Amino acid sequence: MAGSERTKAQIVADVLNKTLMQLVTRCAKADGVRDYFDIGVIGYGGSGARNALAGSLSQQILNPISAIESNPVRIEERRRKIDDGAGGVVEQTVKFPVWFEPQSNGGTPMCAAISKAAEELAAWCDNHPNSYPPTVLHITDGESTDGSPEQLADGLRQFQTNDGNILLLNLHVSSLAATPISFPANETGLPDQYAKLLFRMSSPLPTHLVKVAQEKGRTVSNESRGYVFNADAAEIVDFFDIGTRPAQLR
């Protein structure tokens, strides 16, 4: 991971927790959590591809966001000091939910993971024909160990709702000491065959995401793909924030 002492597994777990928290927060109102999203997390490693959420969220891959909100594995409480609005300082307790602990184990069965995602999302698209299409955020740190995933990824991107095709965004967490690359428009400059493969597997960024990425100061064009190589932590958060922004949620 560029510019960091923490392990990839720690950073990925932090980013996943933060992203779920941000997504829930967007749907949380004073009168409750609105189910604007369904969310699933598929983890893959030595034991194959499986639901990575715990407790009651482990019963099915996709869960409404209100269920995600209600079922973190734990809630951390942290104290902080804030301005009391009258020139003083008061202490306040802030709560942080945790759904994932860092995990790292051998094997990268990418084909199994993409197949599982495709199976879930094909059914979801059938059941939600008028919804914004699903976004798949795929985080990987290496070479697939169960065959080439390219055709499976092509197949996954073909599923659609009336609002468009599934978006597949790839976040490539590499151990190479190479310069980070965000949302490239072609393969030129990507460091190895795995990076190039993941680039080809990534959806072109739709217009509204191009706009959001530009607002965040990213250099992107209408040819950019949803691929990020060797990103540092801030870029990973950006990647998720951009990738999880539906067109109509205001």
Rounded Cα distance, 141 and 10, in Å: 13
CB atoms under 10 Å from CB of 41, counted, come to 18
Minimum CB–partner distance for residue 82 and other proteins (Å) = 9
Using rule CB under 8 A, residue 79 touches other proteins: no
Using rule CB under 8 A, residue 54 touches other proteins: no
Which ranges constitute the DSSP H helices of the chain? 8-27, 65-70, 110-127, 150-158, 193-201, 207-215, 233-243
DSSP reduced 3-state for 209: helix
Using rule CB under 8 A, residue 24 touches other proteins: yes
Question: Which distant-in-sequence residues (6+ apart) come within 8 Å of 26 by Cβ?
Answer: 36, 249
Stretch that binds other proteins, among 86-94, 101-109, 118-126, 150-158 (CB under 8 A): 86-94
Whose Cβ is closer to other proteins: residue 69's or residue 238's? Answer: 69
Stretch that binds other proteins, among 37-45, 87-95, 102-110, 172-180 (CB under 8 A): 87-95
Question: Which distant-in-sequence residues (6+ apart) come within 8 Å of 250 by Cβ?
Answer: none
- Asked whether the beta carbons of 33 and 52 are under 8 A apart, the reply is no
Minimum CB–partner distance for residue 207 and other proteins (Å) = 13
Stretch that binds other proteins, among 27-35, 48-56, 128-136, 176-184 (CB under 8 A): 27-35
Exactly one of 40, 43, 97, 149 binds other proteins (CB under 8 A); that residue is 97
DSSP reduced 3-state for 181: strand
Using rule CB under 8 A, residue 33 touches other proteins: yes
Using rule CB under 8 A, residue 28 touches other proteins: yes
Whose Cβ is closer to other proteins: residue 67's or residue 201's? Answer: 67
The rounded radius of gyration (Å) of the Cα atoms in the chain is 19
Q: In what order do the strands lie in the sheet with 181-182?
A: 135-140, 167-172, 227-229, 181-182
Stretch that binds other proteins, among 69-77, 115-123, 124-132, 165-173 (CB under 8 A): 69-77
Exactly one of 21, 41, 53, 137 binds other proteins (CB under 8 A); that residue is 21
Using rule CB under 8 A, residue 89 touches other proteins: no
**What residues line the site for other proteins (CB under 8 A)?**
21, 24-26, 28-30, 33, 69, 72, 75, 85, 92-97, 249-250
